[in-house]
Structure 1
Amino acid sequence: LEIADSKKGEINSIVDLLDFYGIKFSKNHVVGDFENAATVETASGRNFAYPYWMRMRQKNMRKDEPVAANLNELLFAETGFFSAKDRLNLLHPIVVTGERISTQDRSLFGDMSTEELALEFDARVQKAKVIVGRVNEKLPSPFFAHGSDNSNPQTFLVLVGDTDWLYDGFSKVGTGSSVTAASRPMNDNHNFFLNLVELTTGSQGLTEIRSRKSPVRVFSKIEAMLFESRKKYHAKEAEFASKIKSAEDSIRQFLQMANVKTETDLPKAAKDEILKIREMIYPLKEDLRNIRLQIRQNVNELFLTIIVFNLITGPVLSVVFLYVLRGYRRKSQGLEIP
């Protein structure tokens, strides 16, 4: 959805209204967070971290905000962000990004795949961005002329830089068959929305109760291991993926320049050139595959350890239980003998 720029003084959209109050919204840019990147799956089944889908944990939520204080995790997809540089105390942050972030032009998201966007993501340490905030001030109405009777009523605004976060695909997961299909929360998005609605009504009676039992169970050790691996190998992964993409683009351009659809229509000399390019791609793909295996190596080793532990624990506990039971029976029989 593209929002055209309005003429100065006109209010034709929510962006114009926010601008009137001194709040800027990044309508043409999306923020990504390296540390809070969500794991997504490609069409081929490969999982990778996509920084423009952000899983916000407790450290990204303001503890002094009751609507988010007891939540564990929120998911935001390709969200914008807010700022109020000229009025520092106007915008109160509720959810913020980390500091290793980057912004990307929104128009590129229709032309590039999620994997390409993730590989080209260049995180830099900078000030965290506000993706959810609130305004609780006496604000003048922009529709009254200057100097007219405008009582500046108390206004309460909740600003969220994303709309997809309320969509079931980002907040719930289906369970059961298609006939008896049900859904359960996979994060705290719905609870957060209900908390925000309740806050705007001036009541917070159910906020603490609603947030008490979170559906999210976080494997913090595994997530920390994956994050450290991504941080270590991300640059190499992006480098090899870029080289592969460049080589494949060269082949496509070669076919376009020759005005043919397939390589079989090319003369032998051209086929040999393409073959050389493909021979260069194969080791690059092998190196890229090895890097991606290294990213998950520690996690895979941990899972293997857990599996082996589970396989061994059952028989060992059974043997111990039988040994204890046998000793108890012998002791009981010994007591019964006069």
Structure 2
Amino acid sequence: MNKRNKNLIYSAIGIIALFLIFVAVNFIASKINIRLDLTEEKLYTLSQSTRSVLKKLDTPVTLKLYYTKSSNMPSFLKNYAARVLDLLNEYRQTAGSRIIIEKYDPVPDSEAEDSAVMDGVTGQPLNTGDKIYLGLAVQCLDQTVALPFLSPDREQLLEYDVTRAISQITRTRKSLIGVMSALPVMGQKPTPMMMQMGQFNQTPPWMAFRELKTDYELLEIPMASEKIDPSIELLVIVHPAGISEKMQYAIDQYILKGGKVIAFLDPYSFYAAATAKNDRTAMQPPMTNSSLDKLLKAWNIGFDQEMVVADMTYCKRMVTPEKRMSFPTVIDITSDGLNKEEVFTSQLESVTEAFGGAFTGEPADGLKKSILMKSTRDSHLINSYLASNFEMVVKEFKPDDKEYALAIKLSGKFKTAFPDGKPEAAGKKEAAPAGDSIKESQKDSVVVLIADSDMIFDELCVKTSNIFGQTITQPLNDNLSLFYNLVGYMAGDSDLIQIRSRKVISRPFNVVKTMQSQAEQKFKNKILELEEDLTKAQERLSKLQEQKSKNQKSILSPEQKEEIKNFRQKETKAKQDLKVLRKELRQGIDSLETRLKWINIALMPGIVILFGIGFAIFRNRRSFVK
């Protein structure tokens, strides 16, 4: 056997051996079910909080995944369904026999489709008239919680949604939520004084709380109370104007026992001001500001009850035939001002505040602060008595070049704001014994502070219309979504509080975005130029019209006809220029995408070929040396 044949035999044996080793490794790995998450976002690694929820399960939970497998299913949804299934397998691997996964393909007119409908999973219609399914039903005993459609847009919240559904289905009762407010957020019956004044109508509850009643049990806590029912799982405070120290002490002790709080404070409540203005029975000036001064001081959080945030970037604008108006103290916070790493704010796009304030300072030891909403640097603090004078605010506005925290979350172990115990009652000289008071929480708790209470009032967050006798409510922004997200997050399983939204790394095409931005700027300049020409043309036409006699007002003069003709020519040219600009933009982007496509196709084979050539040259040189 010559040397050449011998080398060929050894090479063949080596390739066969590598193949067998590869098969053996895959077989062993499939049996012991080892998983390695190499994604930068750790998409397929369950958080410790999810593991805690699964550990508490004492009854098997079935995860029924409905997804269409036919060719009608768009490829991006097929890929997402595979990722969903990978995550569900992670649940099963963690919980063992307590998690059961069932997969269904709901083809039309099948038992699987009937099952999907019964479980609350809805089909999404296509242009062809067919339906596709990608949903999840979580079942335990006779209870079912459905995620009707798993959208890839919520992939970063997928673990949270599934874990929350498991937590909800294993609960045996509705969560009890306490509601405390100086405003009639739960509705109000007419008082005897109001009835004497001829006011018999009952004030309905705010929409935010009417909706909460469907999923939670609500308990109204009067502002004059001195204790909080320990069975309350979440306390919602809205504009606690005039709150007593005793009530703040009760809130303090509730938090130290592990209670959770959402507090809407306000430097200027326009609802309170408007209500007092229209209330002829009011015997005292309205209390338009509110705070939890004792508690905030103990937490080392500043909140000035007299100062309102004005933001010229987020300010609400309105254009009328007479002029363009800006409302700097009524702000529409975009996604740039919302925390994208928190579950309850990560998917929101716009939140509106009216005359809201700001929180300052770093929290006390043992507490962690997370800013949920913030202003832009083009913002300024202004005294609340000037806040509704929008022209004055604009005139006096000077940006502070500082981002103000509009809503924050405090978490950790809280310490009491009343080290001497319960404050003494009016007329008493001695305080209650401090021995019965809790000084520091034994476990972590959470408090969310929002510097505006009007944001969940109906007029600021929903639009109501009557269609064929039915009241239809449409959201104006994401205000109610934020509120419901917060309540669902904090009134659920305590382990859910620690789950962050999965941070999907964005890898944008910056070159394409730059090209689009430049084109948009050109569009904007062209449009502004056209609008300016139109304004000038209208002014010239008006002057020509004024120069005509009364009996010629309805007849166009030769000068007016010429002016209209010139403007239409400019308008036509501008439209042609915009059309050319759009075409150039598309060509530039298409050219860039083509180059990227060829690079992606040819890069890896090219590297392999170059490596092969280099390795061959290296071997030939070694053989030549020998």
What residue in structure 1 maps to residue 384 of structure 2?
A: 106
Give the distance between the partners of 1:178 and 1:136, measured in 2 at CA: 48
What residue in structure 1 maps to residue 359 of structure 2?
A: 82
What residue in structure 1 maps to residue 207 of structure 2?
A: none
Aligned AA for 1:127?
Answer: K
In the alignment, is residue 34 of structure 1 matched against residue 312 of structure 2?
yes
Give the deviation of 1:40 after TM superposition: 4.2
Give the distance between the partners of 2:492 and 2:309, measured in 1 at CA: 31
Contact 2:339/2:346, CA 8 A, preserved across alignment: yes
Give the distance between the partners of 2:418 and 2:240, measured in 1 at CA: 24
Equivalent residue for 1:48, pick from 304, 309, 325:
325
Give the distance between the partners of 1:116 and 1:178, measured in 2 at CA: 44
Equivalent residue for 1:145, pick from 417, 420, 431:
420
When Rg is computed on C-alpha atoms for both structures, the one with the higher figure is: 2
Q: 1:16 to 1:184 in 2, by over 3 A?
A: same
Equivalent residue for 1:189, pick from 454, 468, 479:
479
In the alignment, is residue 173 of structure 1 matched against residue 463 of structure 2?
yes
3-state SS in 2 of match to 1:170: helix
3-state SS in 2 of match to 1:173: strand
3-state SS in 1 of match to 2:368: coil
Give the distance between the partners of 1:56 and 1:31, measured in 2 at CA: 12
What residue in structure 2 maps to residue 234 of structure 1?
A: none
Q: Bigger CA drift: 20-29 or 89-98?
A: 89-98
Deviation digits for residues 187-240 of structure 1 (CA, Å, limit 9, x no counterpart): 1111100111122224459x98xxxxxxxxxxx979x979xx9xxxxxxxxxxx
Contact 2:240/2:292, CA 8 A, preserved across alignment: no
Contact 1:33/1:52, CA 8 A, preserved across alignment: yes
In the alignment, is residue 97 of structure 1 matched against residue 372 of structure 2?
no
Give the deviation of 1:86 after TM superposition: 6.2
3-state SS in 2 of match to 1:124: coil
Give the deviation of 1:39 after TM superposition: 2.0
Aligned AA for 1:100?
Answer: D
Give the distance between the partners of 2:398 and 2:524, measured in 1 at CA: 19
Give the distance between the partners of 1:104 and 1:178, measured in 2 at CA: 45
Equivalent residue for 1:124, pick from 391, 399, 414:
399
Q: 1:5 to 1:183 in 2, by over 3 A?
A: closer
Percent identical among aligned pairs is 18
Deviation digits for residues 37-56 of structure 1 (CA, Å, limit 9, x no counterpart): 112478x9755221111111
Aligned AA for 2:481?
Answer: N
Give the distance between the partners of 1:121 and 1:202, measured in 2 at CA: 45
Deviation digits for residues 222-260 of structure 1 (CA, Å, limit 9, x no counterpart): 9x979xx9xxxxxxxxxxxxxxxxxxxxxxxxxxxxxxx
3-state SS in 1 of match to 2:410: strand
Contact 1:33/1:123, CA 8 A, preserved across alignment: no
Taking structure 2 as the reference length, what is the TM-score of the superposition?
A: 0.30
**Which runs of 5 or more structure 1 residues have no equivalent in the other structure?**
209-219, 230-300, 310-338
Deviation digits for residues 68-126 of structure 1 (CA, Å, limit 9, x no counterpart): 001111101110010124649632101111111111101223xx633333x32424242
**Which runs of 5 or more structure 2 residues have no equivalent in the other structure?**
1-238, 250-289, 422-433, 502-516, 529-570, 580-626
Q: How does 1:293-304 map to 2 (within 5 A)?
A: none
What residue in structure 2 maps to residue 198 of structure 1?
A: 488
What residue in structure 1 maps to residue 391 of structure 2?
A: 115
Taking structure 1 as the reference length, what is the TM-score of the superposition?
A: 0.53
Give the distance between the partners of 1:107 and 1:5, measured in 2 at CA: 22
3-state SS in 1 of match to 2:406: strand
What residue in structure 1 maps to residue 338 of structure 2?
A: 61
Give the deviation of 1:26 after TM superposition: 2.0
Give the deviation of 1:139 after TM superposition: 0.5
Aligned AA for 1:187?
Answer: N
Bigger relative contact order, structure 1 or 2 (CA pairs below 8 A, ≥6 apart): 1
Deviation digits for residues 248-301 of structure 1 (CA, Å, limit 9, x no counterpart): xxxxxxxxxxxxxxxxxxxxxxxxxxxxxxxxxxxxxxxxxxxxxxxxxxxxx9
Number of matched residues? 215
Contact 1:34/1:123, CA 8 A, preserved across alignment: no
Q: Bigger CA drift: 191-200 or 11-20?
A: 11-20
Aligned AA for 2:487?
Answer: V
Contact 2:298/2:416, CA 8 A, preserved across alignment: no
Q: 1:150 to 1:85 in 2, by over 3 A?
A: closer
Give the distance between the partners of 1:165 and 1:114, measured in 2 at CA: 19
Contact 2:339/2:345, CA 8 A, preserved across alignment: yes
Q: How does 1:273-312 map to 2 (within 5 A)?
A: none
Deviation digits for residues 18-62 of structure 1 (CA, Å, limit 9, x no counterpart): 1121111121100111111112478x9755221111111111111
Aligned AA for 1:152?
Answer: S
Q: 1:41 to 1:144 in 2, by over 3 A?
A: farther
Give the distance between the partners of 2:475 and 2:324, measured in 1 at CA: 21
Give the distance between the partners of 1:78 and 1:163, measured in 2 at CA: 9
What residue in structure 2 maps to residue 243 of structure 1?
A: none
What residue in structure 2 maps to residue 158 of structure 1?
A: 448
Contact 1:6/1:16, CA 8 A, preserved across alignment: no
CA RMSD of aligned residues (A): 4.2
